[in-house]
């Protein structure tokens, strides 16, 4: 499972970096979104990958840290997903406004010379 998750994170990072280097603003926004998804998966994986394990142990008995999943990365990723969705929507609105004002969607604001 860890290998599949690592390959997925690597693929998202590679695709995100490649898209960020593109000349169009829409591709840059999608690249940033892919990078944020990769970071979310990485943070989620720091909470240890366990199956059928409760995030919090009931009772006051002695606690074995390996017997439960860490709920903090799950809460951080949930918050990051909401914030990432909002910032992506904001970026798209700014993209549309910039395209309306400049007439182009290039990052530098001008069409390449042909």
| Residues 87, 97 contacting (CB under 8 angstroms) | no
Residue 75 burial (CB count, 10 A): 12
109, pLDDT greater than 80? no
Q: Specify the pLDDT at position 56.
A: 66
Which letter does DSSP use for residue 24 in this model?
Answer: B
Instruction: At 107, list the tokens.
Output: 């990052």
pLDDT, tens digit, for every residue of 53-71?
A: 666 666 667 777 666 667 7
Helices (H), 1-114: 2-20, 25-45, 71-102
- Helix/strand/coil for 106: strand
Instruction: At 77, list the tokens.
Output: 């990723």
- 2-50+68-102 belongs to which CATH class? mainly alpha
Instruction: At 9, list the tokens.
Output: 């994170």
Q: Specify the pLDDT at position 57.
A: 62
Predicted TM-score (pTM) above 0.85: no
- Domain ranges, ordered by start, for the chain: 2-50+68-102
């Amino acid at each position: 499972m860890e290998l599949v998750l690592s390959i997925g994170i690597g693929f998202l990072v590679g695709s995100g970096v490649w898209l960020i280097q593109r000349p169009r603003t829409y591709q840059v926004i999608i690249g940033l979104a892919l990078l944020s998804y990769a970071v979310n998966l990485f943070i989620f994986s720091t909470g240890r990958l366990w199956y059928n394990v409760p995030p919090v142990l009931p009772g006051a008995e002695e606690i074995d840290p390996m017997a439960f999943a860490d709920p903090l990365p799950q809460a951080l990723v949930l918050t990051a997903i909401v914030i990432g969705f909002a910032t992506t929507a904001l970026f798209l609105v700014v993209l549309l406004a910039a395209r309306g004002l400049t007439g182009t969607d290039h990052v530098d604001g001008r069409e390449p010379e042909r």
